[in-house]
Amino acid sequence: MSALDTVVVPINRAGWPFIALFAVAALLLASLAPRLAWVGIVATAWCIYFFRDPPRVVPQRAGLVVSPADGRVSMITLALPPSELEMGIEPMLRISIFLNIFNVHVNRMPIEGVVTKVAYHPGRFLNAAMDKASEENERMAVRLRAVEGRELGVVQIAGLVARRIVCGLVEDQPVRTGERYGLIRFGSRVDVYLPPDAKPLVVVGQTAIGGETVIADFAGVEPPRVGISI
């Protein structure tokens, strides 16, 4: 990787229409009120920054579950998966990743397997950091069957600012760990539902990196981790 590669980050193609819109608005603002030109420049720069899509180095050992998103681990709890995924009525281990407007918003597959169900659920736009956002907010839920047979759920949840969930998956589609599959605009949350016997390898408050941070290990024997803020 060259020094330039560390500065110039690829932009997700879903962002180019918005970047163009912000740029045109910036030009119009500059022509109408030259003293406010900097407002349009800053807004356009932020839009470019929001849609950045940096490459990631994805762990490849069988059984590893990686974070589907960049952000803060906001909750780790037992919870019922969304009913539309038809994963039963027993609680599963839910790890929630909260994305603020400055995080990378490209979502990635947590594990290798096959997509067995994709279901959209309309809803509200509550603060995605709230626990009830899992049930009440607009969401796109995906059910996965990992290569070793375990069932997982990955749910993109719209937030207070987010108004659009992008998911490029279809049922029966094979996927790889770390593969890009969607995006949420502009601030949101992603929940991962794991079998209840899974041991979380992240802690609440930890910053996760999508496609890189290992959040669970089906093949490991390490106990759940604990953490302190220092």
For the cut 50, the answer to whether the pLDDT of residue 116 exceeds it is yes
Residue 134 annotated in active site:
no
* 118 vs 53: CA distance, rounded Å: 24
What are the tens digits of pLDDT across the range 23-75? 999 999 888 888 888 998 999 998 898 888 999 999 988 889 999 999 999 99
What are the tens digits of pLDDT across the range 131-148? 777 777 889 999 999 988
CATH 2.70.70, the chain: domain bounds = 64-217
For the cut 70, the answer to whether the pLDDT of residue 3 exceeds it is no
Q: Which of 2, 74, 188, 229 is catalytic?
A: 188
Hey, which CATH number is domain 64-217, 2.70.70, 2.60.120, 1.10.3470, 2.60.40? 2.70.70
What are the tens digits of pLDDT across the range 153-196? 999 998 776 567 888 899 999 999 999 999 887 668 999 999 98
Higher pLDDT, residue 5 or 71: 71
The answer, as to whether pTM is greater than 0.85, is yes
